[in-house]
A and B are shown apart, each in its own frame.
Chain A
Amino acid sequence: MEWLMDQLVQTFVTDDRWRYFARGVATTLEVTCLALVLGTIIGVLVAVVRSAHDSQRGNKKGLGHAVLGVLDWVCKLYLTVIRGTPSTVQLLIMWFIVFQWARDNMMLWVASLSFGINSGAYVAEIVRSGIMSIDLGQTEAGRSLGLNYVQTMRYIVIPQAIKNILPALGNELITLLKETSVCGFIGLADLTKGAMIVQSRTYAPYMPYISIAVIYLVLVLALTGLLNLLERRLRASDRR
Protein backbone atom coordinates (compact mmCIF):
# COMPACT_ATOMS: atom_id res chain seq x y z
CA MET A 1 0.00 0.00 0.00
CA GLU A 2 2.76 2.34 0.99
CA TRP A 3 4.65 1.32 -2.15
CA LEU A 4 1.65 2.16 -4.28
CA MET A 5 1.24 5.61 -2.73
CA ASP A 6 4.93 6.21 -3.19
CA GLN A 7 4.73 5.25 -6.83
CA LEU A 8 1.67 7.43 -7.39
CA VAL A 9 3.32 10.45 -5.85
CA GLN A 10 6.52 9.85 -7.77
CA THR A 11 4.76 9.41 -11.09
CA PHE A 12 2.17 12.15 -10.91
CA VAL A 13 2.82 14.62 -8.11
CA THR A 14 6.57 15.23 -7.82
CA ASP A 15 7.61 18.09 -10.10
CA ASP A 16 4.02 18.26 -11.35
CA ARG A 17 4.63 15.23 -13.54
CA TRP A 18 0.91 14.80 -14.17
CA ARG A 19 1.41 17.53 -16.75
CA TYR A 20 3.28 15.12 -19.02
CA PHE A 21 0.20 12.92 -19.04
CA ALA A 22 -2.29 15.76 -19.45
CA ARG A 23 -0.36 17.34 -22.32
CA GLY A 24 0.23 13.89 -23.74
CA VAL A 25 -3.50 13.14 -23.86
CA ALA A 26 -4.14 16.49 -25.54
CA THR A 27 -1.45 15.87 -28.15
CA THR A 28 -2.63 12.33 -28.82
CA LEU A 29 -6.19 13.55 -29.33
CA GLU A 30 -5.08 16.45 -31.51
CA VAL A 31 -3.04 14.22 -33.81
CA THR A 32 -5.88 11.68 -33.95
CA CYS A 33 -8.54 14.26 -34.80
CA LEU A 34 -6.48 16.05 -37.45
CA ALA A 35 -5.48 12.73 -39.00
CA LEU A 36 -9.10 11.58 -38.89
CA VAL A 37 -10.29 14.65 -40.82
CA LEU A 38 -7.49 14.40 -43.38
CA GLY A 39 -7.85 10.61 -43.67
CA THR A 40 -11.58 10.89 -44.28
CA ILE A 41 -11.14 13.50 -47.01
CA ILE A 42 -8.41 11.50 -48.75
CA GLY A 43 -10.31 8.26 -48.25
CA VAL A 44 -13.56 9.51 -49.80
CA LEU A 45 -11.76 11.11 -52.76
CA VAL A 46 -9.74 7.98 -53.49
CA ALA A 47 -12.80 5.76 -53.10
CA VAL A 48 -14.85 7.92 -55.50
CA VAL A 49 -12.06 7.91 -58.10
CA ARG A 50 -11.66 4.15 -57.84
CA SER A 51 -15.41 3.50 -58.02
CA ALA A 52 -15.82 5.91 -60.92
CA HIS A 53 -13.06 4.13 -62.77
CA ASP A 54 -14.56 0.71 -62.07
CA SER A 55 -18.03 1.80 -63.18
CA GLN A 56 -16.60 2.98 -66.51
CA ARG A 57 -15.84 -0.52 -67.73
CA GLY A 58 -17.05 -1.03 -71.27
CA ASN A 59 -16.77 2.64 -72.10
CA LYS A 60 -13.11 3.08 -72.82
CA LYS A 61 -13.28 6.11 -75.05
CA GLY A 62 -12.46 9.77 -74.67
CA LEU A 63 -10.33 12.12 -72.62
CA GLY A 64 -12.39 11.61 -69.46
CA HIS A 65 -11.53 7.95 -69.43
CA ALA A 66 -7.81 8.64 -69.90
CA VAL A 67 -7.74 11.14 -67.03
CA LEU A 68 -9.64 8.73 -64.82
CA GLY A 69 -7.23 5.97 -65.78
CA VAL A 70 -4.26 8.04 -64.63
CA LEU A 71 -6.01 9.07 -61.41
CA ASP A 72 -6.93 5.47 -60.70
CA TRP A 73 -3.32 4.42 -61.24
CA VAL A 74 -2.12 7.11 -58.81
CA CYS A 75 -4.68 5.97 -56.24
CA LYS A 76 -3.63 2.33 -56.56
CA LEU A 77 0.03 3.30 -56.14
CA TYR A 78 -0.89 5.30 -53.04
CA LEU A 79 -2.82 2.38 -51.56
CA THR A 80 -0.03 -0.08 -52.29
CA VAL A 81 2.76 2.03 -50.80
CA ILE A 82 0.87 3.21 -47.73
CA ARG A 83 -0.66 -0.14 -46.85
CA GLY A 84 2.59 -1.94 -47.61
CA THR A 85 4.82 0.01 -45.22
CA PRO A 86 4.62 0.48 -41.43
CA SER A 87 3.08 3.73 -40.24
CA THR A 88 6.10 4.24 -37.97
CA VAL A 89 8.43 4.17 -40.96
CA GLN A 90 6.15 6.57 -42.82
CA LEU A 91 6.28 8.93 -39.85
CA LEU A 92 10.10 8.77 -39.70
CA ILE A 93 10.41 9.43 -43.44
CA MET A 94 7.93 12.28 -43.22
CA TRP A 95 9.72 14.05 -40.37
CA PHE A 96 13.38 13.30 -41.04
CA ILE A 97 13.33 13.38 -44.86
CA VAL A 98 10.31 15.07 -46.39
CA PHE A 99 10.04 17.80 -43.74
CA GLN A 100 13.65 17.86 -42.57
CA TRP A 101 13.63 21.66 -42.82
CA ALA A 102 10.62 21.94 -40.50
CA ARG A 103 10.92 23.43 -37.03
CA ASP A 104 10.03 21.53 -33.90
CA ASN A 105 6.83 23.48 -33.38
CA MET A 106 5.52 21.96 -36.63
CA MET A 107 5.99 18.44 -35.35
CA LEU A 108 2.35 18.02 -34.41
CA TRP A 109 1.27 19.02 -37.92
CA VAL A 110 3.73 16.73 -39.64
CA ALA A 111 2.68 13.82 -37.45
CA SER A 112 -0.99 14.53 -38.19
CA LEU A 113 -0.26 14.72 -41.89
CA SER A 114 1.61 11.43 -41.79
CA PHE A 115 -1.13 9.61 -39.90
CA GLY A 116 -3.80 11.25 -42.05
CA ILE A 117 -2.17 9.97 -45.22
CA ASN A 118 -1.81 6.56 -43.62
CA SER A 119 -5.39 6.40 -42.41
CA GLY A 120 -6.72 7.65 -45.75
CA ALA A 121 -5.57 4.46 -47.45
CA TYR A 122 -7.60 2.29 -45.10
CA VAL A 123 -10.60 4.63 -45.11
CA ALA A 124 -10.53 4.60 -48.93
CA GLU A 125 -11.04 0.87 -49.11
CA ILE A 126 -13.73 0.97 -46.42
CA VAL A 127 -15.61 3.73 -48.26
CA ARG A 128 -15.25 1.88 -51.54
CA SER A 129 -16.80 -1.21 -50.01
CA GLY A 130 -19.62 1.02 -48.78
CA ILE A 131 -20.18 2.48 -52.24
CA MET A 132 -20.26 -1.01 -53.73
CA SER A 133 -22.84 -2.06 -51.14
CA ILE A 134 -25.38 0.42 -52.54
CA ASP A 135 -27.65 -0.93 -55.26
CA LEU A 136 -26.71 0.23 -58.75
CA GLY A 137 -30.33 1.34 -59.20
CA GLN A 138 -29.67 4.26 -56.84
CA THR A 139 -26.93 5.56 -59.09
CA GLU A 140 -29.07 5.01 -62.17
CA ALA A 141 -32.00 6.85 -60.62
CA GLY A 142 -29.76 9.80 -59.77
CA ARG A 143 -28.14 9.89 -63.19
CA SER A 144 -31.46 9.54 -65.00
CA LEU A 145 -32.65 12.71 -63.24
CA GLY A 146 -29.73 14.60 -64.77
CA LEU A 147 -27.40 14.65 -61.75
CA ASN A 148 -23.75 14.16 -62.68
CA TYR A 149 -21.58 11.43 -61.21
CA VAL A 150 -20.20 13.52 -58.36
CA GLN A 151 -23.63 14.89 -57.39
CA THR A 152 -25.09 11.39 -57.43
CA MET A 153 -22.30 10.18 -55.18
CA ARG A 154 -22.58 13.12 -52.83
CA TYR A 155 -26.33 13.33 -52.36
CA ILE A 156 -27.43 9.76 -52.93
CA VAL A 157 -24.79 7.04 -52.68
CA ILE A 158 -22.35 8.24 -50.01
CA PRO A 159 -24.96 9.22 -47.40
CA GLN A 160 -26.32 5.67 -47.62
CA ALA A 161 -22.87 4.09 -47.78
CA ILE A 162 -21.69 5.89 -44.62
CA LYS A 163 -24.44 4.21 -42.67
CA ASN A 164 -23.29 0.77 -43.80
CA ILE A 165 -19.61 1.35 -43.10
CA LEU A 166 -19.85 3.14 -39.78
CA PRO A 167 -18.71 0.10 -37.74
CA ALA A 168 -15.67 -0.37 -39.97
CA LEU A 169 -14.87 3.34 -39.84
CA GLY A 170 -15.12 3.26 -36.06
CA ASN A 171 -12.65 0.41 -36.02
CA GLU A 172 -10.26 2.45 -38.16
CA LEU A 173 -10.60 5.43 -35.81
CA ILE A 174 -9.72 3.28 -32.80
CA THR A 175 -6.71 1.84 -34.61
CA LEU A 176 -5.63 5.34 -35.55
CA LEU A 177 -5.83 6.58 -31.97
CA LYS A 178 -3.63 3.76 -30.75
CA GLU A 179 -1.23 3.99 -33.65
CA THR A 180 -0.35 7.59 -32.75
CA SER A 181 1.51 6.11 -29.75
CA VAL A 182 4.59 5.88 -31.99
CA CYS A 183 4.75 9.70 -32.22
CA GLY A 184 7.58 9.58 -29.68
CA PHE A 185 9.87 8.23 -32.40
CA ILE A 186 10.17 11.72 -33.82
CA GLY A 187 10.16 13.36 -30.40
CA LEU A 188 6.53 14.46 -30.28
CA ALA A 189 5.37 14.43 -26.65
CA ASP A 190 2.19 12.40 -26.96
CA LEU A 191 0.78 10.29 -24.16
CA THR A 192 3.19 7.39 -24.62
CA LYS A 193 6.19 9.70 -24.89
CA GLY A 194 5.01 11.44 -21.71
CA ALA A 195 5.07 8.15 -19.84
CA MET A 196 8.54 7.38 -21.20
CA ILE A 197 9.81 10.75 -20.00
CA VAL A 198 8.39 10.17 -16.54
CA GLN A 199 9.92 6.69 -16.39
CA SER A 200 13.31 8.10 -17.35
CA ARG A 201 13.09 10.39 -14.32
CA THR A 202 11.77 7.90 -11.76
CA TYR A 203 13.25 4.65 -13.08
CA ALA A 204 9.92 3.07 -12.12
CA PRO A 205 8.06 1.66 -15.14
CA TYR A 206 4.90 0.27 -13.48
CA MET A 207 2.85 3.31 -12.75
CA PRO A 208 3.46 5.35 -15.92
CA TYR A 209 2.84 2.52 -18.36
CA ILE A 210 -0.09 0.95 -16.56
CA SER A 211 -1.60 4.43 -16.28
CA ILE A 212 -1.37 5.21 -19.96
CA ALA A 213 -2.75 1.79 -20.81
CA VAL A 214 -5.79 2.66 -18.71
CA ILE A 215 -6.01 6.12 -20.29
CA TYR A 216 -5.90 4.67 -23.83
CA LEU A 217 -8.56 2.16 -22.84
CA VAL A 218 -10.82 4.88 -21.44
CA LEU A 219 -10.35 6.98 -24.60
CA VAL A 220 -11.27 4.02 -26.79
CA LEU A 221 -14.31 3.23 -24.66
CA ALA A 222 -15.47 6.85 -24.93
CA LEU A 223 -15.01 6.76 -28.71
CA THR A 224 -16.89 3.47 -28.99
CA GLY A 225 -19.74 4.98 -26.99
CA LEU A 226 -19.90 8.01 -29.27
CA LEU A 227 -19.85 5.83 -32.37
CA ASN A 228 -22.64 3.64 -31.05
CA LEU A 229 -24.71 6.73 -30.40
CA LEU A 230 -24.08 8.00 -33.92
CA GLU A 231 -24.93 4.63 -35.40
CA ARG A 232 -28.20 4.49 -33.51
CA ARG A 233 -29.15 7.94 -34.75
CA LEU A 234 -28.36 7.09 -38.35
CA ARG A 235 -30.26 3.82 -38.10
CA ALA A 236 -33.29 5.71 -36.83
CA SER A 237 -34.43 6.37 -40.40
CA ASP A 238 -34.63 2.62 -41.00
CA ARG A 239 -37.21 2.11 -38.29
CA ARG A 240 -39.48 4.94 -39.23
Chain B
Amino acid sequence: MIDVKNLTKSFGGHKVLAGINEHIFKGEKVAVIGPSGSGKSTFLRCLNLLERPTGGTITFEGVDITDPKTDINRLRSRMGMVFQQFNLFPHLSVLENIRLAPVKLKRMDKDQAGEKALELLRRVGLPDKADAYPKQLSGGQQQRIAIARALAMNPDVMLFDEPTSALDPEMVGEVLEIMKELAQEGMTMVVVTHEMGFARSVATRVLFMDQGDIAEQGKPEDFFGSPQNPRLREFLSKVL
Protein backbone atom coordinates (compact mmCIF):
# COMPACT_ATOMS: atom_id res chain seq x y z
CA MET B 1 0.00 0.00 0.00
CA ILE B 2 2.77 2.40 0.95
CA ASP B 3 6.17 1.61 -0.46
CA VAL B 4 9.16 3.57 0.79
CA LYS B 5 12.46 3.33 -1.08
CA ASN B 6 15.71 4.78 0.13
CA LEU B 7 13.99 7.69 1.85
CA THR B 8 16.34 10.42 3.09
CA LYS B 9 15.61 13.73 4.73
CA SER B 10 18.05 16.39 5.84
CA PHE B 11 17.39 19.66 7.60
CA GLY B 12 20.22 21.90 6.53
CA GLY B 13 23.29 19.74 7.03
CA HIS B 14 21.65 17.54 9.61
CA LYS B 15 20.63 14.13 8.28
CA VAL B 16 17.42 12.98 9.98
CA LEU B 17 16.48 10.04 7.79
CA ALA B 18 19.35 7.96 6.49
CA GLY B 19 17.78 5.98 3.64
CA ILE B 20 14.74 4.06 4.80
CA ASN B 21 13.25 1.11 2.90
CA GLU B 22 9.89 -0.06 4.13
CA HIS B 23 6.62 -1.43 2.88
CA ILE B 24 3.34 -1.02 4.66
CA PHE B 25 0.67 -3.49 3.60
CA LYS B 26 -3.06 -2.97 3.57
CA GLY B 27 -4.61 -3.77 6.93
CA GLU B 28 -1.35 -3.62 8.84
CA LYS B 29 -1.09 -1.77 12.12
CA VAL B 30 2.49 -0.59 12.33
CA ALA B 31 3.81 0.94 15.53
CA VAL B 32 6.95 3.05 15.22
CA ILE B 33 8.96 3.46 18.41
CA GLY B 34 12.35 4.84 19.22
CA PRO B 35 14.20 7.47 21.24
CA SER B 36 13.42 11.12 20.57
CA GLY B 37 15.44 12.51 17.70
CA SER B 38 15.54 9.14 15.98
CA GLY B 39 13.48 10.45 13.05
CA LYS B 40 10.22 8.59 13.67
CA SER B 41 7.97 11.65 13.41
CA THR B 42 9.86 12.89 10.37
CA PHE B 43 9.41 9.47 8.77
CA LEU B 44 5.66 9.61 9.38
CA ARG B 45 5.37 13.19 8.15
CA CYS B 46 7.19 12.27 4.96
CA LEU B 47 4.52 9.66 4.20
CA ASN B 48 1.96 12.37 3.41
CA LEU B 49 4.56 14.91 2.36
CA LEU B 50 4.11 17.31 5.27
CA GLU B 51 7.88 17.04 5.08
CA ARG B 52 9.35 16.88 1.61
CA PRO B 53 11.89 14.07 1.39
CA THR B 54 15.41 15.05 0.37
CA GLY B 55 15.80 11.83 -1.59
CA GLY B 56 14.15 8.51 -2.36
CA THR B 57 10.61 7.66 -3.40
CA ILE B 58 7.33 6.98 -1.66
CA THR B 59 4.64 5.13 -3.56
CA PHE B 60 1.09 5.20 -2.24
CA GLU B 61 -1.47 2.92 -3.90
CA GLY B 62 0.68 2.67 -6.99
CA VAL B 63 1.31 6.42 -7.36
CA ASP B 64 4.71 7.99 -6.77
CA ILE B 65 3.82 10.80 -4.39
CA THR B 66 7.29 12.33 -4.48
CA ASP B 67 6.82 13.10 -8.18
CA PRO B 68 6.14 16.86 -8.40
CA LYS B 69 3.39 16.22 -10.96
CA THR B 70 1.32 14.14 -8.53
CA ASP B 71 -1.81 15.81 -7.14
CA ILE B 72 -0.71 15.61 -3.54
CA ASN B 73 -3.94 17.11 -2.18
CA ARG B 74 -6.00 14.25 -3.60
CA LEU B 75 -3.62 11.69 -2.11
CA ARG B 76 -3.54 13.41 1.26
CA SER B 77 -7.32 13.22 1.44
CA ARG B 78 -6.96 9.42 1.38
CA MET B 79 -4.44 9.48 4.25
CA GLY B 80 -5.86 10.62 7.56
CA MET B 81 -3.46 12.22 10.02
CA VAL B 82 -3.72 12.72 13.76
CA PHE B 83 -1.29 15.09 15.46
CA GLN B 84 0.27 15.20 18.89
CA GLN B 85 -1.23 18.65 19.49
CA PHE B 86 -4.69 17.72 18.06
CA ASN B 87 -4.70 20.84 15.84
CA LEU B 88 -8.45 21.24 15.87
CA PHE B 89 -9.66 24.48 14.32
CA PRO B 90 -10.50 26.68 17.32
CA HIS B 91 -12.77 29.06 15.40
CA LEU B 92 -15.10 26.27 14.27
CA SER B 93 -17.51 24.11 16.22
CA VAL B 94 -16.81 20.40 16.55
CA LEU B 95 -19.32 19.58 13.81
CA GLU B 96 -17.81 22.18 11.47
CA ASN B 97 -14.32 20.88 12.24
CA ILE B 98 -15.33 17.42 11.07
CA ARG B 99 -17.30 18.38 7.99
CA LEU B 100 -15.10 21.22 6.70
CA ALA B 101 -12.90 19.11 4.43
CA PRO B 102 -15.59 16.80 2.97
CA VAL B 103 -17.76 19.82 2.12
CA LYS B 104 -15.04 22.09 0.76
CA LEU B 105 -13.57 19.27 -1.29
CA LYS B 106 -17.07 18.53 -2.62
CA ARG B 107 -17.15 14.93 -1.45
CA MET B 108 -20.51 15.48 0.19
CA ASP B 109 -23.07 18.24 0.54
CA LYS B 110 -23.45 20.01 3.83
CA ASP B 111 -26.30 17.85 5.14
CA GLN B 112 -24.70 14.55 4.20
CA ALA B 113 -21.44 15.64 5.77
CA GLY B 114 -23.30 16.74 8.89
CA GLU B 115 -24.95 13.30 9.18
CA LYS B 116 -21.62 11.62 8.68
CA ALA B 117 -20.02 13.89 11.28
CA LEU B 118 -22.69 12.98 13.85
CA GLU B 119 -22.19 9.30 13.09
CA LEU B 120 -18.45 9.70 13.60
CA LEU B 121 -19.04 11.58 16.84
CA ARG B 122 -21.11 8.65 18.08
CA ARG B 123 -18.32 6.34 17.07
CA VAL B 124 -15.75 8.25 19.15
CA GLY B 125 -18.24 8.45 22.00
CA LEU B 126 -18.95 12.19 21.89
CA PRO B 127 -22.40 12.49 20.28
CA ASP B 128 -23.42 15.45 22.43
CA LYS B 129 -20.40 17.63 21.59
CA ALA B 130 -21.36 18.59 18.03
CA ASP B 131 -22.00 22.23 18.87
CA ALA B 132 -19.16 22.64 21.36
CA TYR B 133 -15.95 24.48 20.53
CA PRO B 134 -12.53 22.83 20.86
CA LYS B 135 -11.50 25.03 23.79
CA GLN B 136 -14.39 23.74 25.87
CA LEU B 137 -13.16 20.17 25.61
CA SER B 138 -10.53 18.14 27.44
CA GLY B 139 -7.40 17.01 25.61
CA GLY B 140 -8.71 13.48 25.33
CA GLN B 141 -11.99 14.66 23.85
CA GLN B 142 -10.17 16.94 21.42
CA GLN B 143 -8.00 14.10 20.21
CA ARG B 144 -11.00 11.83 19.72
CA ILE B 145 -12.57 14.57 17.61
CA ALA B 146 -9.35 14.96 15.65
CA ILE B 147 -9.60 11.24 14.85
CA ALA B 148 -13.21 11.70 13.76
CA ARG B 149 -12.17 14.62 11.59
CA ALA B 150 -9.53 12.54 9.84
CA LEU B 151 -12.00 9.68 9.37
CA ALA B 152 -14.55 11.99 7.74
CA MET B 153 -12.56 11.85 4.51
CA ASN B 154 -12.83 8.02 4.44
CA PRO B 155 -9.06 7.57 4.35
CA ASP B 156 -7.42 4.31 3.31
CA VAL B 157 -4.71 4.69 5.92
CA MET B 158 -4.44 6.58 9.20
CA LEU B 159 -1.18 8.15 10.36
CA PHE B 160 -0.82 8.91 14.06
CA ASP B 161 1.98 11.18 15.26
CA GLU B 162 2.35 10.52 19.00
CA PRO B 163 -1.40 10.87 19.50
CA THR B 164 -1.29 10.48 23.28
CA SER B 165 1.94 12.29 24.16
CA ALA B 166 0.27 15.63 24.91
CA LEU B 167 -2.48 14.13 27.05
CA ASP B 168 -2.90 13.97 30.79
CA PRO B 169 -2.33 10.35 31.89
CA GLU B 170 -5.99 9.71 32.75
CA MET B 171 -7.03 10.62 29.20
CA VAL B 172 -4.62 8.38 27.36
CA GLY B 173 -6.89 5.34 27.75
CA GLU B 174 -9.94 6.82 26.03
CA VAL B 175 -7.92 7.76 22.95
CA LEU B 176 -6.16 4.40 22.75
CA GLU B 177 -9.54 2.71 23.07
CA ILE B 178 -10.81 4.51 19.94
CA MET B 179 -7.62 3.59 18.09
CA LYS B 180 -8.00 -0.03 19.15
CA GLU B 181 -11.56 -0.13 17.79
CA LEU B 182 -10.34 1.42 14.56
CA ALA B 183 -7.68 -1.28 14.31
CA GLN B 184 -10.25 -4.01 14.87
CA GLU B 185 -12.37 -2.61 12.04
CA GLY B 186 -9.46 -3.27 9.71
CA MET B 187 -8.04 0.21 9.19
CA THR B 188 -4.45 0.38 8.00
CA MET B 189 -2.56 2.34 10.64
CA VAL B 190 0.91 3.74 11.16
CA VAL B 191 1.36 4.91 14.72
CA VAL B 192 4.37 6.73 16.13
CA THR B 193 4.02 6.17 19.84
CA HIS B 194 5.61 5.86 23.25
CA GLU B 195 2.77 3.63 24.45
CA MET B 196 4.52 0.26 24.57
CA GLY B 197 1.35 -1.41 25.82
CA PHE B 198 -0.49 -0.27 22.74
CA ALA B 199 2.34 -1.32 20.44
CA ARG B 200 2.39 -4.75 22.04
CA SER B 201 -1.36 -5.40 22.04
CA VAL B 202 -2.62 -3.70 18.89
CA ALA B 203 0.26 -3.51 16.42
CA THR B 204 0.79 -6.28 13.90
CA ARG B 205 4.37 -5.10 13.40
CA VAL B 206 6.69 -2.86 15.39
CA LEU B 207 9.52 -0.76 13.94
CA PHE B 208 12.37 0.51 16.09
CA MET B 209 13.99 3.61 14.72
CA ASP B 210 17.43 4.78 15.74
CA GLN B 211 19.58 7.50 14.19
CA GLY B 212 17.40 7.92 11.14
CA ASP B 213 17.08 4.29 10.22
CA ILE B 214 14.93 1.30 11.09
CA ALA B 215 17.24 -0.64 13.35
CA GLU B 216 14.96 -3.56 14.07
CA GLN B 217 11.44 -4.69 13.30
CA GLY B 218 9.21 -7.64 13.94
CA LYS B 219 5.96 -8.96 15.31
CA PRO B 220 5.31 -7.53 18.75
CA GLU B 221 5.85 -10.82 20.59
CA ASP B 222 9.32 -11.34 19.06
CA PHE B 223 10.14 -7.67 19.12
CA PHE B 224 9.46 -7.24 22.81
CA GLY B 225 10.18 -10.86 23.79
CA SER B 226 13.60 -11.29 22.25
CA PRO B 227 15.03 -8.03 20.94
CA GLN B 228 18.28 -8.48 19.01
CA ASN B 229 19.62 -4.97 18.49
CA PRO B 230 21.61 -3.74 21.53
CA ARG B 231 20.23 -0.22 21.14
CA LEU B 232 16.69 -1.60 21.16
CA ARG B 233 17.44 -3.64 24.26
CA GLU B 234 18.79 -0.57 25.97
CA PHE B 235 15.77 1.47 24.87
CA LEU B 236 13.28 -1.15 26.04
CA SER B 237 15.01 -1.51 29.39
CA LYS B 238 14.49 2.22 29.91
CA VAL B 239 10.86 2.45 28.89
CA LEU B 240 9.38 -0.82 30.08
Chains A and B come from one and the same complex: yes
Q: In the bound complex, do residue B68 and residue A146 qualify as a contact, i.e. CB atoms below 8 Å apart?
A: no
Is B104's beta carbon under 8 Å from chain A?
A: yes
- Looking at B75-83, B167-175, B221-229, the stretch in contact with chain A turns out to be B75-83
Number of interface residues of A (CB under 8 A): 25
**In whole Å, how far is A164's beta carbon from the nearest beta carbon of chain B?**
11
Q: Name 23 interchain pairs, CB-CB below 8 A, sorted by A.
A: A61-B68, A135-B85, A137-B83, A137-B85, A140-B87, A143-B50, A143-B73, A144-B48, A144-B50, A144-B79, A144-B150, A145-B77, A145-B101, A145-B105, A146-B74, A147-B105, A148-B73, A155-B100, A160-B91, A237-B90, A237-B133, A238-B135, A240-B135
Interface residues of B in 52-106 (CB under 8 A from A): 52, 68, 73-81, 83, 85, 87-91, 100-101, 104-105
B105 in complex: contacting residue of A146, A156, A160, A238, CB < 8 Å: A146
Chain B, interface size category, equals 20 to 34
Is A133 engaged at the interface, CB distance under 8 Å to the other chain?
no
What residues on A are CB-neighbors of B101 within 8 Å?
A: 142, 145-147
Q: Which residue, of B76, B87, B153, has the highest number of chain A Cβ atoms within 10 A?
A: B87
**What 0/1 readout, one digit per residue, does chain B (137-150) give for beta carbons within 8 Å of chain A?**
00000000010011
The one of A141, A146, A151, A159 in contact with B153, judged by C-beta atoms closer than 8 angstroms, is A146
The answer for the CA separation of A59 and B49 in the assembled complex, in Å, is 11
Residue numbers of A with Cβ under 8 A of B are: 58-59, 61-62, 135, 137-138, 140-148, 151, 155-156, 159-160, 163, 237-238, 240
Q: A144-B79, A146-B73, A237-B133 are in contact. Are A138 and B105 (CB under 8 A)?
A: no
Known: A144-B50, A146-B74, A146-B76. A151 touches B104 (CB 8 A): yes
Q: Which of A59, A145, A155 contacts B76 (CB 8 A)?
A: A145
Q: Is the CB of A146 within 8 A of B135?
A: no
**Bound CA–CA A195/B68 (angstroms):** 62
Contact A160 B149 (CB under 8 A): no
